[in-house]
């Protein structure tokens, strides 16, 4: 696809988010003009200060206030944009009592963004979905999932996973149902559990695993496998999906690799224990984790994954977008170092 970044404007929704802020950095460093949406313009002012150590082009970022549940602000943010990266979506640590607290902004927000993009003649939207829309709700979790798989909404599925699945299905249906004469391209990125260095003192949901391990709030670890990916890789995949001619109409699973929680703890322990961080390395038996989940909400969220060897086929992402993931050990260590730098980890 022909593209001159210095004359191209890209909108990034939810610009203060963990992944979105990395996308903004990479876009600015590649010379793009960026229009970011935020829920609060006061927080947007802080964003520019956070970005400054990572890019010399902060002046090329303009911020607009927009909310996923309102029409206001989207047209202003998308006017003149060739591309939109839609990353804004709720990502809580714990499931809400009412699932619509997640589903409504995810689904209605996706529709708001696509309608505004279409009105403003945006050429391509790259939407951030998740592996949560790919592999959940199935009884058989011990297998390799591909970009053709979808989470089963009729199975046992948490509100977050349901919200990501419904939001992505909404996006594809929107594109399929465009009336004759209307045209807009869509590509979707489905990251796994996103880790990597943070750029500020705010605490994104993704840091909770590192916090619990490095602060000693977990006495031991469960036999749970995580399919991780570096936030810097997720940004690279978004930008590649934005410009590649071969990306249109495709889903891109974005997973750097699978690793068991005990292995994560061992990597952190080997690197940070000499600095005084006591990372737990005892592995609890599966029965104990299931029993503990009856009294602990955090354990309840992961108990269905105990012992499950889920994996993802990322060949389409690697082949179409020419992507090679950052090694997981590097991601895990560099995230820990950044959390210490910004005071998000307290030594115990």
| Mean pLDDT value across the chain | 92
CA distances to 97, 161, 209, 293 from 301, rounded to whole Å, are: 13, 11, 13, 8
Q: So what's the pLDDT on residue 287?
A: 77
List pLDDT tens digits, range 90-148: 776 567 778 998 999 999 999 999 999 999 999 999 999 999 999 999 999 999 999 99
pLDDT > 80? residue 2: no
Q: So what's the pLDDT on residue 1?
A: 47
Q: So what's the pLDDT on residue 281?
A: 85
Residue 181 backbone class (left: φ over 0; alpha: ψ -120 to 50; beta: rest): left
pLDDT > 80? residue 335: yes
Catalytic positions are: 164
Burial of residue 203 (CB within 10 Å: 0-12, 13-18, 19+) is middle
List pLDDT tens digits, range 42-94: 888 899 999 999 999 999 999 999 999 999 999 999 999 999 999 998 776 56
Q: How many CB atoms lie within 10 A of CB 94?
A: 12
Q: So what's the pLDDT on residue 305?
A: 80
Helix, strand, coil percentages, rounded to 5, for the chain: 45, 15, 40
Q: So what's the pLDDT on residue 288?
A: 78
Angle at CA of residue 249, ends 67 and 115, nearest 5°:
30
Helices (H), the chain: 18-29, 41-51, 74-78, 100-119, 159-176, 208-214, 231-243, 261-272, 286-292, 297-302, 315-321, 328-341
- Global pTM? 0.94
DSSP string computed for 172-196: HHHHHTPPTT---EEEEEEE-EEE-
Cα separation, 244 vs 263, whole angstroms: 35
Q: So what's the pLDDT on residue 93?
A: 59
Q: For the chain, what's the residue count?
A: 348
**Domains of the chain, residue spans:** 7-197+228-257+312-326
- In terms of Cα–Cα distance, which of 235, 259, 249 is closest to 148? 249
Q: So what's the pLDDT on residue 28?
A: 98
Cβ–Cβ under 8 Å, residues 99 and 162 = yes
Both tokens of 212, joined, read 């619990």
List pLDDT tens digits, range 266-296: 999 999 999 999 999 888 887 777 887 777 7
User: Rg for the chain (alpha carbons), in Å?
Assistant: 20
Cβ–Cβ under 8 Å, residues 312 and 143 = no
DSSP string computed for 260-302: EHHHHHHHHHHHHGGGT-----PBPPHHHHHHHTTT-HHHHHH
Among 34-48, 90-104, 311-325, name the one with the lowest average pLDDT: 90-104
Q: How many CB atoms lie within 10 A of CB 254?
A: 29
Cα separation, 219 vs 216, whole angstroms: 7
Supply the CATH classification number for the domain 7-197+228-257+312-326.
3.40.50.720
């Amino acid at each position: 696809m022909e593209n001159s970044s210095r004359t191209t404007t890209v909108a990034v929704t939810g610009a203060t988010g963990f992944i979105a802020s990395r996308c903004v950095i990479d876009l600015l460093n590649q010379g793009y003009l960026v229009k970011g949406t935020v829920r609060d313009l006061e927080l947007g002012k802080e964003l520019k200060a956070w970005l400054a150590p990572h890019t010399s082009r902060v002046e090329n970022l303009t911020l607009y206030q927009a909310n996923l549940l309102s029409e206001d602000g989207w047209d202003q943010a998308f006017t003149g944009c060739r591309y939109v990266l839609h990353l804004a979506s709720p990502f809580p640590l714990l499931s809400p009592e009412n699932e619509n607290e997640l589903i409504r902004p995810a689904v209605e927000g996706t529709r708001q963004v696509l309608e505004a993009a279409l009105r403003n003649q945006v050429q391509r939207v790259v939407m951030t979905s998740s592996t949560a829309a790919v592999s959940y709700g199935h009884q058989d979790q011990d297998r390799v999932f591909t970009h053709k798989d979808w989470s089963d909404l009729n199975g046992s599925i948490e509100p977050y996973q349901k919200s990501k699945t419904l939001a992505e299905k909404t996006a594809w249906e929107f594109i399929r149902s465009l009336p004759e004469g209307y045209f807009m391209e869509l590509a979707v990125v489905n990251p796994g559990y996103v880790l990597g260095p943070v750029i500020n003192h705010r605490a994104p949901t993704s840091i909770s695993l590192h916090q619990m391990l490095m602060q000693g709030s977990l006495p031991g670890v469960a036999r749970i496998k995580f399919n991780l990916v570096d936030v810097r890789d997720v940004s690279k995949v978004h930008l590649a999906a934005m410009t590649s001619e071969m990306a249109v109409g495709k889903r891109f699973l974005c997973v750097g690799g699978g690793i068991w929680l005990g292995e994560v703890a061992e990597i952190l322990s080997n690197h940070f224990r000499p600095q005084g961080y006591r990372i737990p390395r005892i592995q609890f038996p599966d029965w104990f984790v299931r029993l503990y989940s009856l009294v602990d909400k955090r354990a309840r969220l992961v108990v269905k994954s105990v012992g499950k060897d889920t994996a993802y086929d990322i060949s389409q992402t690697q082949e179409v977008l020419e992507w090679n993931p950052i090694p997981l050990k590097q991601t895990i260590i560099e995230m820990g170092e950044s959390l210490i730098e910004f005071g998000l980890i307290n030594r115990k």
